[in-house]
Amino acid sequence: MDPVPIIDIGPLIGSPMGVATPDATGAAIHEACLDTGFFVAVGHGCAEHIAATFDAAHRFFDLPQATKETLAMVDRRGYVPLERDRLDPGLHASPMEYYDLALDGENPWPPIEGFAAVLQAHQDAALGVAAAVLRSLAVSLELDPAFFADRMRTPQCFLRLMHYVPEPDGRTPVLTHPHTDYGAITLLATDGVGGLEVEHPRLGWLPVEAPAGSFIVNLGDMLARWTNLRYASTPHRVLAPTHTDRYSIPFFVNPDPATVVECLPSCVSVDRPPRFEPVTAGEFLAKRIADGGYMRG
């Protein structure tokens, strides 16, 4: 099996909540989650939303710096300028600027016609894809198909637009140091530009090949904890493939803050006792963010 397989999730999209996942699609997703926790989702019907969102990202980062700085981040919403968000001061990393918005609450919108509508449509579409994938995982984990949906009635979701600026000396830096995502599941929209690598447990660092308009889906630490580490949350990093600007658009999906995350029955046995105490999703994320800084993507 390809360490990061390309999976057509079309059979999952629009299927009724109570209907089990089509066998081949569900099995492929399950196997990917057991291995690296990464796969590339195609056939989701969101390619136009992804293209429009990348266009919006270009327009946003092309704004005058003074305009962007009027949208400075408050309560995890807004703009962070270049070089303020180094992941590791000892690591040479390319300067990065980014803009975050949440699924709920007030977001600071830039003066770009249609910008808010494009990003809100992208969030809605990505959340629908995440719901379909989580429904598939629920079936594979011997849960009710609506298990995760019932715990995501008021989900904690964030969309991030990221812009990496190439170094003037032409070096090819590590854009992000190796890390895992904190939450349940991340959907990374792609424009066909490579650079993402995953650390396979047996094969080492491997590049992720994903066509434009696809989502790179990966599981985070919360879902790994939920499954008693049966599913993987794998370290990943981004290398600069070319000496050009790079854009990245992750969507972080997490359950309701009050959701209790405890090891699932199908992931516990005499030989595999629970490794974690129950914790609420809100508490888990708050601690991870406090320990390691805000979500890095």
Domain boundaries, the chain: 6-292
Q: Which residue has the tokens 């972080």?
A: 252
Question: According to the model, what pLDDT value does residue 176 have?
Answer: 74
Share of the chain above pLDDT 90, in %: 72
Over residues 94-123, mean pLDDT: 91
Task: Tell me the average pLDDT across 202-225.
Answer: 95
Taking the alpha carbons at both ends of the chain, their separation in whole angstroms is 26
Q: What is the tens place of the pLDDT at every residue in 245-290?
A: 889 999 999 999 999 999 999 999 999 999 999 999 999 999 988 8
Residue 101: is it exposed, middle or buried by C-beta count within 10 angstroms (0-12/13-18/19+)? buried
Instruction: Calculate mean pLDDT across residues 86-106.
Output: 71
**Of all residues in the chain, what percent carry a pLDDT higher than 70?**
87
Whether the per-residue pLDDT at 165 is higher than 90: the answer is: no
Question: What per-residue confidence (pLDDT) applies to 246?
Answer: 86
Residue 175 CA to residue 167 CA, distance in Å, equals 11
Contacts with 120 (C-beta within 8 Å, 6 or more apart), sequence order: none
Instruction: Read off the pTM.
Output: 0.91
Helix, strand, coil percentages, rounded to 5, for the chain: 30, 25, 45
- State the average pLDDT over residues 135-140: 95
CATH code of the domain made up of 6-292: 2.60.120.330
Residue type, position 74, single letter: V
- Give the C-alpha separation, 92 to 90, whole Å: 7
Alpha carbon distance 235, 163 (integer Å): 21
Task: Order the strands of the 196-200 sheet from edge to edge.
Answer: 174-179, 236-239, 196-200, 204-207
